[in-house]
């Protein structure tokens, strides 16, 4: 397992993705203490924006995936902030694991180790609720849910291990049977 790398600052900045995380899927725990926009975007090797990880107003505390598409396209992160922020890069294997049920709040990356089944999923947020499944090598994204507001439904889950990326502003639950 690769040791975490921590970056912090105030206001707008650019952070280079640490070498130990550049060629593999990684997690970034992002926090912001401010009252205006907090945006985290990925940058490719030509410094062009290549993805949007966080786009919120005010305080933020969430986990997002980096380089989860089977390629190492992101070389940096562009931060737009009015307050203090912290980015902690972590090994993807440190995602919170589960085999049958789990609950959480906000953006998170999970590591599913369970069997093939049907996941009963709920969300009580008011904004985007997006759930995407990835192979443990970060490849083969499968968009399971893309809704706005409350969600109460079921989705097919393949057998693990696989990463489940949750984008939410509220409380959510997964129960796989």
Domain limits, the chain: 6-92, 95-176
User: Whole-model pTM above 0.85?
Assistant: yes
Quickly state the pLDDT bin for 72 (edges 50, 70, 90).
low
- The second-level CATH assignment, the architecture, of 6-92 is Sandwich (2.60)
DSSP assignment letter at 140: S
CATH class assigned to 95-176: mainly beta
Quickly state the pLDDT bin for 67 (edges 50, 70, 90).
confident
| SS3 at position 40 | strand
**Residues 162, 99: Cα–Cα separation, whole Å:** 11
Mean pLDDT over residues 132-157, rounded? 92
Same fold, 6-92 and 95-176: yes
Pairing assessment for the beta strands 101-105 and 171-176 based on DSSP bridges: antiparallel
Position of tokens 């993807």?
Answer: 92
What pLDDT, on a 0 to 100 scale, did the predictor assign at position 115? 97
Q: Where are the beta strands (DSSP E) in 70-161?
A: 76-80, 84-91, 96-98, 101-105, 108-112, 117-123, 128-135, 142-148, 151-157
**Residues 78, 18: Cα–Cα separation, whole Å:** 14
């Amino acid at each position: 397992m690769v040791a975490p790398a921590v970056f912090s600052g105030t206001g707008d900045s650019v952070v280079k993705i640490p070498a130990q995380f550049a060629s593999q899927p990684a997690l970034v725990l992002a926090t912001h203490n401010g009252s205006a926009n907090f945006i985290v975007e990925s940058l490719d090797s030509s410094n062009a924006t290549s993805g949007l990880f966080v786009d919120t107003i005010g305080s933020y505390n969430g986990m997002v995936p980096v380089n989860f598409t089977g390629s190492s396209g992101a070389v940096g992160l562009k931060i737009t902030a009015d307050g203090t922020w912290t980015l902690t890069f972590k090994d993807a294997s440190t995602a919170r694991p589960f085999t049958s049920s789990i609950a959480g709040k906000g953006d998170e990356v999970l590591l599913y180790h369970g069997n093939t089944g049907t996941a009963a999923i709920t969300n009580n947020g008011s904004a985007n609720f997006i759930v995407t499944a990835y192979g443990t090598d970060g490849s083969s994204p499968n968009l399971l849910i893309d809704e706005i507001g409350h969600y109460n439904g079921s989705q097919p889950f393949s057998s693990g291990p696989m990463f489940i990326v949750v984008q939410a502003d509220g409380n959510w639950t997964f129960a796989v049977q």
